[in-house]
Amino acid sequence: MRKVKRFFIFLICIVFPVKSFALSANFVSIEANQYVSVGEPIEVSVLVTHDKNAKVDESSFKMDGKQLSVRYVKEIKMSENSNLVISVYQYTIPAEKRGAYTIPPVSVNIGGKTYTSYESSYEVE
């Protein structure tokens, strides 16, 4: 069930930026499991949708105004007829106690401009 939810969230993160930001294709979103177990760290994926010629400044990732250490995972080409790609980065949030938590927005420089994701949330059960 979690894999199905993650797939739909990922799909939305791909389709929404392309449909809504066609003029400015640069877009940042974050994705994580909505539910994790106590003691389980959470992997957060930062999905950066951008023109393949626009440089993603990997040293510019920030959360709450502080430098965020991310690791590059892969690049996904949107289609053969498009210059749009999704660069996937990840970082880990340490395990938390039981409760609901918010993942703050993440900002990054793409092609010399700063873009910011929306916040996300998850629950530790």
Q: State the CATH number of the domain containing residue 85.
A: 2.60.40.10
Query: Domain total for the chain?
Result: 1
Mean pLDDT of the chain: 82
pLDDT over 90, % of the chain: 53
Residues in the chain: 125
How does pLDDT run across 9-67, given as a tens digit for each residue? 454 454 444 444 443 457 788 788 788 889 889 899 999 999 999 999 999 999 999 99
Q: Which whole number is the average pLDDT over 69-74?
A: 96
CA distances from 52 to 82, 85, 89, 117 (A): 9, 6, 15, 19
> What does the pLDDT read at residue 18?
43
Identify the domain containing residue 37 by its residue range.
2-124
